[in-house]
Chains A and B, each alone.
Chain A
Amino acid sequence: GQQLNQSPQSMFIQEGEDVSMNCTSSSIFNTWLWYKQDPGEGPVLLIALYKAGELTSNGRLTAQFGITRKDSFLNISASIPSDVGIYFCAGRPGFGNEKLTFGTGTRLTIIP
């Protein structure tokens, strides 16, 4: 079946640093979603992408829908302590609301 490979698995950064993570698929996806999950909580949708090449921002977060439609990227600028958590990408091949495939997650830790 479809797989989403997310990297890196974990990141240890200092407050104020920029963060980049990505998600790659073995097949074409037509919707990409990025989520953040805090400990003990459900995932919260950060950014949704619908078109190849699309670049969308949400505050300090920017996500891009890769031009090949097989990858997506999430950047966080000037990280702050509340950015700590696990970030998941998710995608689906179609244009409807069929099943989402989730990435393996990137755990972000900020070193004091």
Chain B
Amino acid sequence: SAVISQKPSRDICQRGTSLTIQCQVDSQVTMMFWYRQQPGQSLTLIATANQGSEATYESGFVIDKFPISRPNLTFSTLTVSNMSPEDSSIYLCSVSGGQQARELFFGEGSRLTVL
């Protein structure tokens, strides 16, 4: 499976600010996925990041709030804009792999706390 590195691993942010999370993969991948995990909850897909095209957002998530960049096949960023305490979550980067690319592998996550 790919090695997926995320930065920052955690941060404490002020309300109204924005933070960009970076995700680096050790191999080229077609699609990268960004998930949110709110405290005590399961994982929710935010968007799929494709290289060379705009990200595809899931219902309830918009580009203005969660802009995504995918400049090449090994890197992506997710920005959480104009943060509020409700944005306090773990944000996870993931990539497909394994048998017929049907498995999903995660980075270690970025835990954001918004005050």
Number of B residues with CB within 8 Å of any CB on chain A: 27
Q: Is the CB of B102 within 8 A of A48?
A: yes
Interface of B is mostly: strand
**B45 on interface, CB distance cutoff 8 Å:** yes
Residues in B neighbouring A35, C-beta threshold 8 A: 106
Closest to B110 in A: A42
Number of A residues with CB within 8 Å of any CB on chain B: 23
In the complex, how many angstroms separate the beta carbon of A85 from the nearest chain B beta carbon? Answer: 14
The segment out of A14-22, A59-67, A74-82, A93-101 that lies at the interface is A93-101
Contact of B42 among A40, A44, A88 (CB under 8 A): A88
Q: Is the CB of B104 within 8 A of A45?
A: yes
Q: How far is the CA of A50 from the CA of B44 in the complex (A)?
A: 22
Residues in A neighbouring B94, C-beta threshold 8 A: 42
In the complex, how many angstroms separate the beta carbon of A103 from the nearest chain B beta carbon? Answer: 7
Closest to A89 in B: B42
Contact of A33 among B4, B100, B104, B107 (CB under 8 A): B104
Query: Contacts A40-B111, A97-B31, A97-B101: A45 and B45 contacting too (C-beta < 8 A)?
Result: no
Of the candidates B4, B103, B105, the one having the most CB atoms from chain A within 10 angstroms of its own CB is B103
Contact of B102 among A96, A99, A102, A103 (CB under 8 A): A96
Q: Is the CB of A95 within 8 A of B102?
A: yes
Closest to A105 in B: B42
B residues sitting closer than 8 Å to A (CB atoms) are 1, 4, 6, 31, 42-45, 48, 58, 90, 92, 94, 96, 98-109, 111
